[in-house]
C-alpha cells in the first residue's frame, strides 16, 4: 500500500517527526478502511507496528507539543469534565483488577485526574494529560496482549494451553477494551487517537475467540 511505503520512506529520511506522525495517522485511517478486507492477524500486526511508531514518536518534544496543541484547540471544557469523570470510573475499575494491574496504576491516574481543576490556566492541558495516560495504558495492554497471543511470542502456545493463562490474557485485553470505551467518544475526534477505535474491534474478536477456546468446566463430583 502506497501510504505505508511513504511512511517507511519518511522514517528512513528521519527529518521531521510531525510529518512522520501525520503519515502514520493516515496509515491508521487507511487500515480502518480495509480492516474487513484483510486477515485479522495481518490487521493486528499492522496496528501493532503503527503503535510502536507512535510510542517512539512520543519521545520527541515537538510531536508532544503538536498533539497537545491540537487537543487543546479541539476539546472544550465539557470534554475535559467528561475525561475527568471517565478517569474516575476507570480508576475504580482498575482497583478490582489486581491480577492484571499494579496498584500504582490507579493511584497515578487518580492523582492526574485530581489535577484537573476549574478555573485553571492548565485545565485543558491537565485533561489532555489524563487522556494520553489512558491511551498509554491501552497501548501497553494491547502490546502485551499481542505478545501473549502472537504466534511468535515465546512459549505462547504452552501458556495459552492453560486455562489460568488464557484468563489472564482475556483480562488484559478486556482492560484495554474497557479503557477505550471510557474515552472513545472524545478520543475519536483527535486524529492521533483514532487508532483505538480499530483496536477495540480486534480486541472484541480476540476475547471472543479466547473465551470460545476455554476448556469445559468439569462436572461436579
Residue 115, domain member (yes or no):
yes
Instruction: Write out the three cell numbers for 210.
Output: 479466547
Q: What is the distance between the alpha carbons of residues 186 and 184, in angstroms, rounded to a whole number?
A: 5
List, for residues 33-76, the tens digit of each pLDDT value: 888 888 877 888 888 899 889 989 999 999 999 999 999 899 99
Instruction: Write out the three cell numbers for 158.
Output: 504452552
- Backbone CA torsion sign across 140, 145, 150, 154: positive
Residue 217, domain member (yes or no):
no
Residue closest to 70 by CA, chosen among 195, 189, 211, 207: 189
Give Cα separations from 24 to 57, 62, 148, 154 (angstroms). 10, 16, 25, 29
Residue 39, domain member (yes or no):
yes
List, for residues 88-121, the tens digit of each pLDDT value: 999 998 888 877 788 898 899 999 999 998 877 8
Tell me the chain's radius of gyration from C-alpha atoms: 19
The contacts of residue 32 (CB under 8 Å, 6+ apart) are 194, 197, 198
This prediction's pTM:
0.78
DSSP 117: -
Residue 156, domain member (yes or no):
yes
Confidence of residue 151 (pLDDT cuts 50, 70, 90): very low
Q: What is the mean pLDDT of residues 176-184?
A: 88
The domain tally of the chain equals 1
What range does the domain containing 83 cover?
2-212
Give Cα separations from 164 to 152, 158, 159, 195, 215 (angstroms). 20, 12, 9, 30, 11
Q: What is the distance between the alpha carbons of residues 128 and 83, in angstroms, rounded to a whole number?
A: 8
Residue 220, domain member (yes or no):
no
In this predicted structure, what is the pLDDT of residue 156? 47
Q: Can you state the angle between helices 77-95 and 163-187, rounded to 10 degrees?
A: 170
Residue 219, domain member (yes or no):
no
Is the confidence at residue 165, as pLDDT, over 70?
Answer: no
Q: What is the mean pLDDT of residues 129-151?
A: 81
Residue 29, domain member (yes or no):
yes
Residue 140, domain member (yes or no):
yes
Is the confidence at residue 187, as pLDDT, over 70?
Answer: yes
Confidence of residue 78 (pLDDT cuts 50, 70, 90): very high
Amino acid at each position: 500500500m502506497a501510504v505505508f511505503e511513504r511512511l517507511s520512506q519518511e522514517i528512513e529520511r528521519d527529518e521531521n517527526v510531525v510529518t512522520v506522525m501525520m503519515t502514520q495517522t493516515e496509515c491508521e485511517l487507511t487500515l480502518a478502511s480495509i480492516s474487513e478486507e484483510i486477515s485479522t492477524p495481518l490487521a493486528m500486526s499492522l496496528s501493532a507496528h503503527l503503535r510502536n511508531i507512535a510510542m517512539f514518536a512520543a519521545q520527541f518534544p515537538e510531536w508532544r507539543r503538536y498533539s497537545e496543541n491540537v487537543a487543546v484547540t479541539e476539546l472544550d471544557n465539557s470534554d475535559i469534565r467528561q475525561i475527568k469523570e471517565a478517569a474516575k470510573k476507570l480508576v475504580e475499575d482498575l482497583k478490582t483488577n489486581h491480577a492484571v494491574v499494579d496498584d500504582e496504576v490507579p493511584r497515578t491516574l487518580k492523582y492526574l485526574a485530581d489535577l484537573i481543576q476549574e478555573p485553571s490556566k492548565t485545565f485543558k492541558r491537565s485533561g489532555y494529560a489524563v487522556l494520553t495516560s489512558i491511551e498509554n495504558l491501552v497501548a501497553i495492554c494491547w502490546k502485551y496482549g499481542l505478545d501473549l497471543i502472537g504466534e511468535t511470542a515465546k512459549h505462547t502456545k504452552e501458556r495459552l494451553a492453560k486455562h489460568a493463562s488464557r484468563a489472564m490474557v482475556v483480562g488484559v485485553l478486556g482492560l484495554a477494551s474497557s479503557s477505550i470505551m471510557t474515552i472513545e467518544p472524545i478520543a475519536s475526534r483527535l486524529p492521533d487517537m483514532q487508532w483505538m477505535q480499530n483496536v477495540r474491534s480486534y480486541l472484541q474478536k480476540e476475547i471472543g475467540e479466547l473465551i470460545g477456546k476455554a476448556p469445559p468446566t468439569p462436572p461436579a463430583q
